[in-house]
Amino acid sequence: MSTKPIRLPSGHPKIFDTMKIEILRMENGEAELSMPFLEEYTQHYGMLHGGAIFTLADAACGVAVASVAREGKKFLTSGMNISYLEPISEGLTICRARVLRQGRIMPVESEVLNSGICVAKASAIYTLAD
């Protein structure tokens, strides 16, 4: 049984296609996204580059915000921090994000998992645009 890919109401970001990021779930201020391990996104030791992990975390946080933002409302990442806990050398990476408080400024937290192990944690602030 195949399922239809989940798309954002505001449009599908091109970087999702480039990095093979898929939305697995988005509802009520929460989101879960996946990204496969791709050789073209590794650093010189063969591990997934931190920038790719950061991009997945930012994408998941943004999708969580999109799940509660009014349709047509634009929002931007105003700040984001990430802590890398373990390297990633293979497999599917999942990021789960949740909005902590709704409003014009929304704090969001996320957890990045690979093979069931937490490999990174991120926190972000999103601001609704006028």
86-110: per-residue pLDDT in tens? 999 999 999 999 999 999 999 999 9
pLDDT, tens digit, for every residue of 24-65?
999 999 999 999 999 999 999 999 999 999 999 999 999 999
pTM for this predicted structure: 0.93
- How confident is the model over 117-126, as a mean pLDDT? 98
Structural domains of the chain, ranges and CATH numbers in brackets: 14-128 (3.10.129.10)
Find the angle CA(98)-CA(43)-CA(34) to the nearest 5 degrees: 30
Q: Give the pair of three-digit tokens for residue 99.
A: 């909005």
Question: What does the radius of gyration of the chain's CA atoms come to, in whole angstroms?
Answer: 14
Give me the pLDDT at residue 9, please.
66
C-alpha–C-alpha distance, residues 96 and 43, integer Å: 24
Strand order in the sheet with 105-114: 22-27, 30-36, 92-99, 105-114, 117-128, 75-84
What is the 8-class DSSP label of residue 48?
B
